[in-house]
Amino acid sequence: METPDGQFGPAYPDLGSGVAKFRKRGPIAKMAKADRRAYGEAVETAIRAKQRAALMREGTSPRSFEPIGDARLQRMRQALQASVARERREREPDEWKPMYAAAMEEKKKRAAAPPPAPKPAPQCAGLPFEVVKIKGRLIVKAPVWTIGTTPPAIAILRNALRCKYSYRDEGYIVTAAKLEKLNQMLNI
């Protein structure tokens, strides 16, 4: 590590005139106790000011609780968006025309293609009940059972997997992952 002539230790950044006047007095060890405390306060104030300035450059205020990483991500996103905008501005009309024609051809092909068939709802082999998909939710169609007569599969759904019963849909609301877990629990 390089050090200035006559200085022991690393070269510190310029911390302003408040710290410089103390450094001109000589070594800290030879200062009076009150001067050492004043020097420490001056160094702390200068360092906090540098940190505050660095945080402001990062896009966060020192008093905000937003992590610096989020500010960096936001700056990176803005830079990416600016890059795309700049790239689009630099394109010539003879570049745009073939791109537009290709996009329109692809759009026509998608419009002419039949819509994809809906995926069937996953089934559970251990359940004597049907699994249906209603408005994007998986429902195990089963009646409400009284305690003591509940089949094991429904008991697992209700107790172990914490599935809620939907009276409107007349069944237990499940996810595909919970159905898979249920299959594993029933050793199927």
How many residues belong to the chain?
188
Over 80: is that where the pLDDT of 17 sits?
Answer: yes
Query: Chain-wide mean pLDDT for the chain?
Result: 75
What are the extents of the domains in the chain?
1-66, 68-112, 131-185
Cα–Cα nearest to 172, from 147, 125, 146, 137 = 137
Are the CB atoms for 186 and 178 separated by under 8 Å? no
The mean pLDDT of 2-12, rounded to a whole number, is: 64
Structure-token pair, residue 70: 């989020």
Q: Could you tell me the sign of the dihedral formed by the alpha carbons of 31, 33, 35, 38, in that order?
A: positive
Tell how strand 165-166 and strand 137-141 pair up: unpaired
Helix (H, G, I), strand (E, B) or coil at 157: helix
Cα–Cα nearest to 153, from 125, 175, 132 = 125
pTM of the model: 0.31
Q: Is 131 exposed, middle or buried (0-12, 13-18, 19+ CB in 10 A)?
A: buried
pLDDT digit string (tens) for 126-166?
556 677 777 777 777 766 555 555 566 666 666 666 777 77
pLDDT digit string (tens) for 62-73?
555 556 667 777
d(CA 140, CA 129): 7
